[in-house]
Amino acid sequence: MGIPHHPLATLSPLSEAELNEWEEAYAAVEAYFQALRLRNRLLVSELVRKVLWRASARKVNETTRPARELAMEEALAEIAAWTQNVLDEPLEHSRLAARGRLALLLTGMPDQWQSVFLTPPPWPPAFVEAMRSSYLAAGPTFAGLPMVAKKLELNVFGSSAAQWWDTMDRRPIVRSMFVLVLLVVIAVSVWFIYF
């Protein structure tokens, strides 16, 4: 591990606000790695440090953007690029989607392959094979379901109502007479209630 390219002597003094901003970025990236179930604190801190160095290099040119946002973009891009290299298959929109995260968990990466996470090749063949098979297993499987229309079964009231409705549709005169009788019954009821 160690600090290969970024000695502490290269750090420039930061203001209190900048320290707080980078502390938030550190916490966000660390929480994301822990959400991927990386439990080794030394490994997590080393990965976070690498991500933050790249984010700080971007911050020089993108001064208006928050450090937390830049750090998370770098973390997501790094994990997506690494996963794409391991799988030897392009990811959709170059993003590690739910399928990729699920493949990492199905592989057992948090438990037995933490040491190879975000490392350059060559990776152990067993890990690569497990990742590829997990990624394929994590994909959606669509089963063809036949859509066959079934006859609607109604009880006594339902079948009577269906027959009545069918009669009303076929005979407009009967429907008109029914509506007229219904209106008369309503009018008579209102007359007796209010007068």
What pLDDT, on the 0 to 100 scale, is given for residue 141? Answer: 53
Query: Is the backbone peptide bond immediately before 66 cis, with ω within 30 degrees of 0?
Result: no
* Contact yes or no for 98/134 (Cβ under 8 A): no
What pLDDT, on the 0 to 100 scale, is given for residue 77? Answer: 83
* Contact yes or no for 79/97 (Cβ under 8 A): no
What pLDDT, on the 0 to 100 scale, is given for residue 58? Answer: 87
Q: What is the residue type of 108?
A: G
Reported pTM: 0.57
Residues of the chain with pLDDT under 70: 1-14, 90-101, 105, 108-110, 135-145, 152, 154
